[in-house]
A and B are shown apart, each in its own frame.
Chain A
Amino acid sequence: MKAYAQPIKRLIAELAKLPGIGEKTAARLSNYILRATEDDVRKLAESIIEVKRRIKLCRICLNPTEDDTCYICQDKTRDQEIICVVEEPDALAAIEESGVYHGTYHVLHGALAPLDGIGPENLRLNELLLRIGSGLIKEIILATNPNVHGEATALLITRMLQEKNIKITRIAMGVPMGGDLKYIDKMTISKSLEFRRGM
Chain B
Amino acid sequence: MSARESHKTAGFVLRLLHYGESDLIVTFYSSDFGKLKGIAKGAKRSKKRFANVFEPFSLTNIIFTRKSRDMLAFIESCEIIEHYDIVRRDLEKTLTASYFIELADHFCPEGKKNEKIFDLLQTFLALLGTGKASDALVRFFEMRLLKFAGFEPALDHCISCKAPIANGSSYYFHAREGGIKCASCAKPERYDQPISAGTVRTLLMGKDMDIDKIKLIALTDSLALESRNLLVGFISHVLNREVKSLKVMEQVRKFCT
Contacts and interface: CB of A to CB of B under 8 A. Distances in A.
A20 B252 contact: no
A23 B20 contact: yes
B20 A117 contact: no
A117 B247 contact: yes
Nearest to A23: B20
B24 to A, nearest CB: 12
A51 interface: no
Contacts of B247: 117, 119
A147 B88 CA distance: 9
Interface in B35-82: 44, 48, 51-53, 55-57, 80
Contact of A151 (B53, B80, B89): B89
B99 A114 contact: yes
Interface residues of B, number: 37
A47 interface: no
A188 interface: yes
Contact of B244 (A19, A21, A116, A125): A116
B85 interface: yes
A152 B52 contact: no
Q: State the majority secondary structure of interface residues on A.
A: helix
Taking residues whose C-beta sits less than 8 angstroms from the other chain, chain A's interface range is 20 to 34
A115 B101 contact: yes
A181 interface: no
B90 interface: yes
B138 to A, nearest CB: 14
A114 to B, nearest CB: 4
Contacts of B89: 151, 155
A22 interface: yes
Interface of A: 19-25, 112-121, 125, 147-148, 151-152, 155-156, 159-160, 183-188, 190
Interface of B: 15, 18-22, 44, 48, 51-53, 55-57, 80, 83, 85, 88-91, 94-95, 98-99, 101-102, 242, 244-245, 247-249, 251-252, 255-256
11 contacts: A19-B18, A24-B21, A115-B15, A117-B242, A120-B251, A148-B57, A148-B94, A151-B89, A151-B94, A160-B256, A185-B51
